[in-house]
Amino acid sequence: MRVSGKAVKYGDNINTDIIIPSKYLTSLDPNELAKHAMEGIDPDFPRKAKEGVIIVAGRNFGCGSSREQAPIALKYAGVKCIVAESFARIFYRNSINIGLPVLEAPGVSGMVEDGDKLTIILDDGEILNETSGKVIKANKLPEFILEIIRDGGLIEHLIKSLRGGRVEV
């Protein structure tokens, strides 16, 4: 799997209240949520993300609540992948479960500028910075997580597994 897009950079500890404030959580419509993605610190984000972007962030991205609406808002706003120094664990799992690729890449903040064009080869855990020509090594995702992402998320993965008789219910 490969994804490409312009980098949008953020710092450390970007929390879920910033990604999608609680006042919007009564909506179950992903496109409605997307309109308010990153509203806490970057109200212009939905416009920027439309063309398909890759978020590059610092440590502890997605900390805070378990709201899956956070990765959903980002995904529907146009985020193709999130690369961060580290992730908060619930956000990390939620992203995978909705089929939004996430990659941990220690040191990535220093190797990408806002607006750089990136291509990510998920299977190899590699990030090509086409603007600078640098290759950044990320922590490769385990095969079973890649499978969930390839299937488009946990539900699709589970449906497929249930059909194949691989999961006991």
Partner 1 sequence: MTISEKILAHASGKEYVRPGDIVDAKVDMAMINEITGPLAIQMFKRIGLEKVWDDQRIVLVLDHQVPADSVKSAELHKIMRMFAKEQSIPYLYDVGDGGICHQVMVERGHVRPGELIVGADSHTCTYGALGAFATGIGSTEMAAVFATGKIWLKVPSTIRINVTGSFMELVTPKDLILNVIGKVGADGAIYKAVEFTGPTISAMNISGRLTLCNMAVEMGAKTGIIEPDEKTVQYVRERTDKQFKIFRSDPDAKYERTLEFDVSNLEPMIACPHSVDNVKLVKEVEGVKIDQAFLGSCTNGRLEDLEIAARILRGRRVKKGVRMLVTPASSEVYLEALRGGILEVFVRAGAYVCNPTCGACFGGHMGLLAAGEVCVSSSNRNFIGRMGSPEAEIYLASPATVAASAVEGKITDPRRFLEA
96 burial class (0-12, 13-18, 19+ CB within 10 angstroms)?
buried
Does position 135 interact with partner 1 (CB under 8 A)? The reply is: no
At residue 20, φ and ψ (nearest 5 deg) are -150, 105
| Window 82 to 111, contacts with partner 1 (CB under 8 A) | 86-90, 93-94, 97-98
Rounded to the nearest 5 percent, the helix, strand and coil shares of the chain are 35, 20, 40
Pairing of strands 102-104, 117-121: unpaired
Distance (Å, whole) CA 156 – CA 68? 16
In the numeric block, the tokens 């897009």 are attached to: 5
CB of 97 to partner 1, least distance (A): 4
- Check binding of 129 to partner 1 (CB under 8 A): no
Interaction between residue 4 and partner 1 (CB under 8 A): no
Please, which residue, 88 or 118, has the CB nearer to partner 1? 88
Q: Which of 1, 11, 41, 115 touches partner 1 by CB under 8 A?
A: 41
Tokens encoding 13: 């500890």
The reply on whether position 166 binds partner 1 by CB under 8 A is: no
Nearer Cβ to partner 1 (23/133):
23
- Which residues would be at the binding site for partner 1 (CB under 8 A)? 12-13, 15, 17-18, 21-23, 25-28, 39-41, 59-60, 63-69, 86-90, 93-94, 97-98, 142, 144, 153-155, 158-159, 162, 167-169
